[in-house]
Amino acid sequence: MALTILAFIVILGFLVFIHELGHFIAAKKFGIGVEEFAIGFPPRLMTRRHNGTDYSINAIPLGGYVKIKGEDGEYTDQPDSFGAKPVWQRMCVMVAGVGMNLLAAWILLVGLFMVGAPIELDSRINPSYIKERSLAVSEVLKDSPAKAAGIQLDDAIISINNTPVTNIDAFQQQTTDSIGTPLAISIRRGKETISLSMVPQIMESIADDRPIIGVTLTELGVVRFPPHKAVIAGTQSAYHYLVRIAQAFGGIIKNVATGNGVGDSIGGPVAIAVATENVVDLGFIHVIIFTAILSINLAIINILPFPALDGGRLIFLILERIRGKASRADMEAWFHRAGFALLMLFAAFITYKDIARFGGGIWHAIVG
C-alpha cells in the first residue's frame, strides 16, 4: 500500500514539477517576473523569497505550479510583465512546459537503455549487449493445450521439464520431440512462478504437422547499450511512443467528434493509481517506462488547442501575432476560466468511469 501511494505521488509530482519548471526557466530567461514557484498545492507549509520569487512547499504533494507576473494580462506597462514581452518570447514560455516533459521522457528512456531496457530481440542487436533473455507469450490459440492448461498473454516461459529455455528454436525443438508426452512447463506471471503440465498435439486448424502447445512466443531481453547507442535507441523509442500516443489521442478526438464517446481508451487519476500498482509490481524498469509514457501524454494533452491548457493560450498568442494586437484580457480570461471548468467536469466524468471500470481494483491499489 505505502509503496503504491508513494510511487503515485512521486510520479505525478515529478511530471507536473518538470512541466512547471519549463515555464519557470523560460520566463526567467526572458526577464519575465515569476511571483511564485510552488511544489505541491496549498495550504502552504513553508516559503522563502529570493530575487523577487516566492519558493513554496505546500501540503498537497501532487505536482506544483508557477505564477508568472502578468500572465492574465495585468501589469502590461511594466517591463518584466509577461504581457509586455514580444509574442515570440511568450510563445516560448508557453511551450517550454511541453518541451520539458518531452525532454524528461527522452532522458528517462536514454538512461534506461544505458542501465538495461526490456525490448524485443532481433538479429540486429549485438549479443554482447543482451544481459537477460526470456520468452513471452504473445498469443494463445483457441482450443490448444496451452489454453486448456491456463497459459495467458504476457506469461514468461522459464523452463521445460526443468531445462531453462530462452529462445524460440529451443522451445519448438522441445515440444516437437515430446508428442504424446506431458511437458512440465514453468512460467512467470508477474512475481509468481507457476508450474503447468500439457501434452503437445498436432492441431488440425493449423497448417503444420508438428506437435505444438498452441502459443506464439516473442523473444525478449534486457539490453544494455553503450552511451552513444543508448542515445540513438532512446531517441527512437521516445519518437515511437510520441507517434503512437498522438495517434491514440487523434482516435479519441475523432470518436468524440463522431459521437462514439471516449470508451475505455482514456483514464484519469484513478486509472493512473491502478496502473501504478501494476508497474510497481513489475519492477523499477517498468516504473521508468511508465513515467516516460505519462510524461509524453502530459505534453500532448497540454499542447492541445483547448482553453486553460498551454495550447489554448498559444492560440491566443498566434492570433495576436496575426492581427497585430492582443485580444481583450477580460475575454481571454473568460475563455480560460470556462475551459478550466469544462476540464474539471471532464475529469469528474473520467473519474466516475474509472471507478465503474476498475471497481475493487481501486481499493486494492490503495490498500494493497
Summarised one tens digit per residue, pLDDT across range 153-194 is: 888 888 888 888 888 888 888 787 776 788 888 988 877 889
Of 223, 242, 263, which one is at a domain's C-terminal end?
A: 223
305 and 325 housed in the same domain: yes
Tell me, yes or no, whether 311 and 354 share the same domain: yes
Last residue of a domain, one of 194, 223, 252: 223
Residues 79 and 130 in one domain: no
> Residue 25 — very low, low, confident or very high, per pLDDT cuts 50/70/90?
very high
Task: Select from 82, 18, 14 the least CA-distant residue to 329.
Answer: 82
Are both 45 and 140 inside the same structural domain?
no
* Percent of the chain scoring above 90 in pLDDT: 28
CATH of the domain at 205: 2.30.42.10
Residue 230 reports pLDDT greater than 90: yes
Position 256 scores a pLDDT of 67
Q: Record the pTM.
A: 0.80
Pair 303, 310: CB distance under 8 Å: yes
CA distances from 123 to 120, 133, 233, 289, 356 (A): 10, 14, 15, 24, 45
| Number of folded domains that form the chain | 2
Is the same domain home to 139 and 16?
no
Do 41 and 131 fall within a single domain? Answer: no
pLDDT of 356 reads 63
Q: How confident is the model at residue 278 (pLDDT cuts 50, 70, 90)?
A: low
Question: SS3 for 239?
Answer: helix
- CA angle (111, 116, 117) in 5-degree steps: 85
Domain interval for residue 358? 2-116+230-367
Q: What is the DSSP string of 95-149?
A: HHHHHHHHHHHHHHHHHHHHH-EEEE--TTS-GGGEEEEEEEEEEE-TTSHHHHH
Both 249 and 129 in a single domain? no
Q: Please give the pLDDT value at position 361.
A: 46
Domain identity same for 11 and 61? yes
pLDDT, residue 201, reads 82
CA–CA distance, 272 with 277 (Å, rounded to integer): 9
Same-domain check for residues 175 and 207: yes
Phi (first) and psi of residue 45, to 5 degrees: -95, -45
Give residues with Cβ within 8 angstroms of 173, minimum separation 6: none
Residues 323 and 235 in one domain: yes
Task: Give the pLDDT of residue 10.
Answer: 83
Whether 218 and 237 map to the same domain: the answer is no
Does 238 lie in the same domain as 216?
A: no
Domain finish residue from 172, 200, 223: 223
What is the mean predicted confidence (pLDDT) over 74-99? 91
